[in-house]
Amino acid sequence: MQSTITRALHGAAAGLAGGVVFGVLMAVTGMLPMVAMLVGGSGAGIGIVVHLAISAILGAGFGLVAPFHGFWPLAGAGLAYGAVWWVLGGLLLMPLGLGMPILQFGAASIQSLLGHLIYGIVTAAAFYVIRRSSHA
């Protein structure tokens, strides 16, 4: 059984993988400058740094709560984790941090949901690969 620190570090690495994939979607849709605004910045460069830092932190959390056995339970947990963070991050915390209305649904929120689900599944798959390779 892996230690708590090891699971968190593996989760952080997996979260970066998920964050890179989600970050591409955010770049294509022009969302990265808005992420930069969370730290008082502007521009896609700052946005991707902030996004990847958040991705690693959330990935560490995933590493701590993810199921121990099997790809499919882990994949399901990744999708659920992405959905939870869509609500917490995309619909609540980010709008609050930017002084915007919370729980707004529309085209942007659907894109955000898709991105968070992609983040969750890629993070889960990367965590699975990292975890398996660390036991080899």
- What is the CB neighbour count within 10 angstroms for residue 83? 14
Helices (H), 29-106: 32-36, 44-65, 71-85, 94-97
pLDDT at 136 over 80: no
CB of 63 closer than 8 Å to CB of 9: yes
pLDDT band with cut points at 50, 70 and 90 for residue 1: low
> Nearest to residue 54, comparing CAs of 80, 36, 75?
36
What number is the average pLDDT over the span 40-61? Answer: 96
Taking the alpha carbons of 122, 34, 50, 102 in that order, is the dihedral positive or negative? negative
Amino acid letter, 3? S
